[in-house]
Amino acid sequence: MILVTGATGTVGREVVSQLLAAGKKVRAMTRNLAKARLDSRVEAVKGDFNERDSLARAVEGVERIFSLTLGPQTGIHEKNLAQAAKQAGVRHIVKLSAMGGDEQTRNVIRKWHDEGERAIRETGIGLTVLLPGAFMSNALHWRESIRAQGKVFSNYGDGKLPPVHPRDIAAVATRALTSDGHEGKSYPLSGPEALSIAEQVEILSGAIGKPLEYIPINDEAARVGMAKAGMPSLLIDALVPFAQFIRDGKAARVFQTIQEVTGRPAFTFSDWARENAAAFR
């Protein structure tokens, strides 16, 4: 049995469906069973990273876990999960972390994940760490301004980054959860090409069939926009300095890990844009 946490989210939903396609028995965790809309073939379990008893039930009889935690509580949440897993005899955890600079330039989000990673390592359970860069699906944050004004506002300037398709992250997770040789590995995950926001907007424009304009903005305007969109201030504080990193060209590196682990090329931003065009119309 494989437990998928974050099973209702962008990556977790994909992990669930790819594990099912591989013929695996899946238990999917959510805080709200009524809202979860999980595949009828999974065993759904109610669980919350804040509630240790719920985690003890979720990991019962489980061999491997896909661990998806988020936010500043990541360290404590993953510690709760890892300790329950240790008690239950789980032998392998695949953790979704984040790319986030080297020792000197670590961003805050990666630091949250490092705490979670440490907590898992302390239990001695086998660990695989996935280190994706920006998700292609972050473009969904542009939905409103695209629908209303045909514009995309960003503080990334001309900086390039290779966004990664969530389905590819899930594909690597699925491989790691279903085949041997991934324990002790860390996998940096990027899409196949580094693109500026202007280039992403051009691709999206072609997929939607509507002219779009990229409007560069400064960090302060970006901060205001994120707050208006309801983003928690802790996350805004974590994301704004990251824009400078991108503008400086430090986030442009393309990794081949998806091809290496899955044996097929990574999906392109054009693929993602075609699949998701309807969301912007």
Ligand X SMILES: NC(=O)c1ccc[n+]([C@@H]2O[C@H](COP(=O)([O-])OP(=O)(O)OC[C@H]3O[C@@H](n4cnc5c(N)ncnc54)[C@H](OP(=O)(O)O)[C@@H]3O)[C@@H](O)[C@H]2O)c1
Distances (CA, A) of 229 to 1, 39, 95, 131, 142: 38, 30, 28, 26, 11
Smallest gap from residue 209 Cβ to ligand X (A):
26
Q: What angle do CA 132, 135, 137 make, to 5 degrees?
A: 160
> Least Å distance between CB 180 and ligand X?
25
Tokens describing residue 252: 């442009």
Binding segment for ligand X among 26-34, 56-64, 84-92, 173-181 (CB under 6 A)? 26-34
- Asked if 129 is part of the footprint of ligand X (rule: CB under 6 A), the reply reads no
Instruction: Give the whole-angstrom CA distance, residue 158 versus residue 22.
Output: 41
CA pair distance 190, 170, nearest whole angstrom: 13
For ligand X, which stretch binds (CB under 6 A), given 17-25, 134-142, 212-220, 252-260? Answer: 134-142
Residue 161 sits in the site that holds ligand X (CB under 6 A): no
Stretch that binds ligand X, among 30-38, 146-154, 253-261, 262-270 (CB under 6 A): 30-38
Give, as ranges, the residues between 47 and 106 that touch ligand X (CB under 6 A).
47-50, 68, 70, 96, 98
C-beta of residue 159 within 8 angstroms of C-beta of residue 252: yes
Decide whether 106 or 181 has the Cβ nearer to ligand X.
Answer: 106
Residues found near ligand X in the complex (CB under 6 A): 5-12, 30-32, 36, 47-50, 68, 70, 96, 98, 109, 132, 134-135, 138
